[in-house]
Chains A and B, each alone.
Chain A
Amino acid sequence: MVEFAVEMLNITKTFGSLVANDDINLQVKKGEIHALLGENGAGKSTLMSILFGLYQPDKGVIKINGQEVKIRNPNDANDLGIGMVHQHFKLVEVFSITENIILGSETTKYGILDLETSKKKIEQMSKEYHLEVDPNAQVSDITVGMQQRVEILKMLYRKADILIFDEPTAVLTPQEIDELMKIIRSFADDGKTIIIITHKLNEIKQIADYCTVLRKGKKIATVDVKKTDISALANMMVGREVSFSVEKTPAKIEEPLLIVENLTFKEHKSNKEILSNVNFSVNKGEIVTIAGVDGNGQSELIKIITGLFTPTSGRVIFKDTDITNTSIIERIEKGMGHIPEDRQKMGLILDYTLAENMILNSYFKEEFSSKGILNKEAMIDYTNRLINRFDIRSSSGSLSIVRGMSGGNQQKAILAREVSRDPDLLIAVQPTRGLDIGAIEYIHKELIAHRDKGKAVLIVSFELDEVLSISDRILVMYNGEIVVSLDASKTNADELGLYMLGAKRGELNGE
């Protein structure tokens, strides 16, 4: 008989009328790397939250190392040796790495915190597992990659031997991803059991032994990764044939629409230079993508272009007019569309209905209001048209409260609002973050269709696959500067990775 480290048998979990997990079986052997694959809303996170004690299953049994257990809360999970690295890290920014790792299981001496001993232990663990961290550094000062290593050390410090990773590569550079893969592999070789939640197929192929596919709350299959190819996995996950390559014709580039000149931005408090002398332009009829690791100034650059920030020096020229100091609404009216980086905080008013959100930057138009009174019928008609055209799904159509909608549909709603205003320049920051293959495919098609109408599209993305497949031209940002401008058809992931890490600088051809 095979000994399983984790067995989840006949797990069923419902939320109201929604069946998140429907009679799911998951069995993971000791020392195995098991991938959990599925679209958004397929039930992966719910299943892992059950294993980690955040939810209680309505039905079903959990066995750890053959013993039936009840996991009532994360403390129980910890006691059973289950650790989890969440997609959004849960670290205290103002604490040092050591303080973060020991938080909750501190070593004390006569009731007084013994940081020295803990620090030594962490240093030793850091060497042993090749997880390079500086125990004295403060979390707010370290890279995302290092933060993730801190999270991993946190699990190991608590002697976890069943490790759950929730979308671990979403925030990493290609080089960091390779490094992480090696580390995960070495954990498995040490006899630790690993479960990875992901929807990135090539990573599964690269690292996992087995893969369980979920779709709409049901388990579709558990497959041996070596014997299954990527397209078969994708078909199981989506339930239909998926096209991987983004189909697009060569760009028909016309005159420049947006010109950014010598843009410099210093943070008010620290006076730290976030952007240094940035120059580039975006032409009609092309998709320009700004690639780079998160936190290299992309966010500030877009905020300056869209009017949320004012630059320290430099100019933004849009349609031959200097718009550096004009208001946000003037820019929107002039033909700028913006799909912001944080859809919940910036893109939507979550407590408003879908219809109210759809007119967020056009409520004052004659179509939706007259003499200051909103025309609710027109709002709802308009929203219903967008719902049909963009296939936005929600519980009660145009009157759904947006907070209750899924992430993918929230993003589709923003896309619908911005694209349907037909802006001359569409700016999209991480337009497909956290979305599943089906939704990504859809959003990419819409962005390309917008370009094909002769409009300009400016994208910021941290996903290399996306950068390479959708762009006509790629600008790489590193440390507040644009270090290279590349023709998307003549580059590859490795080259981009080197520019993104600052190891290489190139020509800003044509700029």
Chain B
Amino acid sequence: MENKRENSALRSYGQKVLSRFKEFRVSSTMDKIKASVISALGGILVGLIIMMLINFQGVIDFIITLASGKFKFDPNTYIIGSIVQSAPILIAGLSVAFAFRTGLFNIGASGQILVGGITAIYIGHLISLPGPLHFLVALIGAIIAGSIWGGITGTLKAYFNINEVVTSIMLNYVAAHLVKFLSRQKLVFDLFRSQTKMLPKSATIPTLGLDRLFPHSGFDISIFIAILTAILVFIILEKTTLGYQLKAVGYNPLGAKTNGIKYRRNIILSMLIAGALSGLAGGIIYLSGANATQIRVQINIPGEGFDGISVALLATNSPIGVIFSAIFINFITQFGSLVEGASTFKKEISDVIIAVIIYFSALSSITLYYLNVRKRKRLKHNSELNKEGDE
């Protein structure tokens, strides 16, 4: 009874603590990198402990197998492959990070990927064009389709104030059913394999011979497209008036509106762009030649859209950070296959590690808080000379 007294005072205390955490939304780049690296290392460490706890013998076996050389470690598969095949989750991560930076939680990247993917597949089968041009047209089709799908969410939010999390999740299922229907049409469906037909070579991602240079790596130009896209997103967010408006609306919708920035237009634009990025990811996934994913009969919401959320979180929504976090997350996934090949573990162990990393990065504001506490203490020592402060 006693300690329940004066809730209001406690509440105001709570608000003070909360506002202290909010400060870290605008912490320095160096702090963000530190937080991400700490999250990653912490995740790996805890993941390894979990591995040892559930199957200690398995860990020993794994080390022995690798050391004895019985298991052939192919750098093309595990290292080059991890890097070059991270393109889809990299671009999906950009989509999520972009929306985040403008105040929106795009949980519908998966749906946008599917819609983009099916559009790319249709263009691949419907039209015939020479080499890279065919691919390019299919990719642009994917971008436009994803953009429209994201735009639905943006429009519903802008005009009817419907929460984008709800609509984008529901649109994932709408997309899954729509795509299931479209993928079973005669034109694109392969009855014997119960999946969409293989695309003509002209529509697949050019490899520029990189796949032959690094066999088994699945190397094509998608990783370059992804990195260029990251740089483009960085420029839009940091250098352009468009990014300036979008972020202003994201940080403070009422403040932006009061100063004449068009709130609705910017919400829709933001989701159009986030959708376009996911659509691009969809194009990359379904147009890749050698290890192309085909759309199967069962309803399947692609995991890349959700991986994108992890990638964006770990990168604290920085577009350049997304490049590294996507490659890193893909490494962990590949590590799962490696472990499965060389021990009694299942490859899903990598999901456990990724999950721990995500928990760590979700708590990164706290990590940053402690980093800053230490910094403040240091500042305090130096403050004797300089007592001015800012008012």
Which residues of chain A have a CB within 8 Å of any CB of chain B? 14, 16-19, 40-41, 52-54, 73-75, 77-79, 84, 86, 90-91, 103-105, 154, 158, 306, 308, 327-329, 331-333, 338, 340, 345-352, 356, 360-361, 363-364, 369, 372-374, 393-395, 400-401, 403-406, 408-409
Contact = CB atoms under 8 A, between A and B. Distances in A.
Given A333-B260, A346-B254, 10 more contacts: A18-B390, A41-B391, A74-B9, A105-B4, A158-B6, A351-B25, A352-B251, A361-B259, A372-B240, A393-B390
A403 B23 contact: yes
Contacts of A374: 239-241, 244
Contact of B13 (A73, A356, A360, A405): A73
A400 B389 CA distance: 13
Provide the main secondary structure of the chain B interface.
Answer: helix
B258 A103 contact: no
Interface in B1-31: 1-13, 16, 22-23, 25-26
Given A16-B380, A349-B248, A374-B240, A394 B12 contact: no
B257 interface: yes
A104 B4 contact: yes
Contact of B387 (A17, A331, A356, A395): A17
Nearest to A338: B258
| Most A Cβ at <10 Å: residue of B5, B254, B257 | B5
B244 A356 contact: yes
B26 A327 contact: no
Given A351-B251, A405-B390, A74 B241 contact: no
A74 B13 contact: yes
A78 B6 contact: yes
A345 B248 contact: no
B244 A363 contact: yes
Given A75-B6, A372-B242, A409-B391, A332 B260 contact: yes
Interface string B229-263: 00000000001111011011001101111111110
A327 B13 CA distance: 40
B128 interface: no
B376 interface: yes
B389 A350 contact: no
Contacts of B57: none
Given A103-B7, A373-B240, A403-B23, A308 B257 contact: yes
A346 B258 contact: yes
Nearest to A89: B8
Nearest to B388: A17
A308 B380 contact: no
B240 A350 contact: no
A395 B390 contact: yes
A95 to B, nearest CB: 11
A403 B9 CA distance: 23
A324 B32 CA distance: 46
A104 B9 CA distance: 10
Interface in B26-43: 26
A57 to B, nearest CB: 15
A332 B261 CA distance: 11
Interface string B338-360: 00000000000000000000000
Contacts of B22: 403
21 contacts: A16-B376, A17-B379, A17-B386, A54-B12, A54-B16, A78-B6, A79-B2, A79-B5, A84-B9, A90-B12, A91-B8, A104-B6, A105-B4, A306-B258, A328-B260, A340-B258, A346-B254, A352-B248, A372-B240, A403-B22, A409-B391
Contacts of B12: 54, 86, 90
Given A347-B255, A372-B241, A78 B5 contact: yes
B55 interface: no
| Most B Cβ at <10 Å: residue of A84, A86, A104, A408 | A104
Nearest to A39: B391
Contacts of B245: 363
Contacts of A408: 391
B16 A105 contact: no
A329 B262 contact: yes
Nearest to A406: B391
A18 B376 CA distance: 11
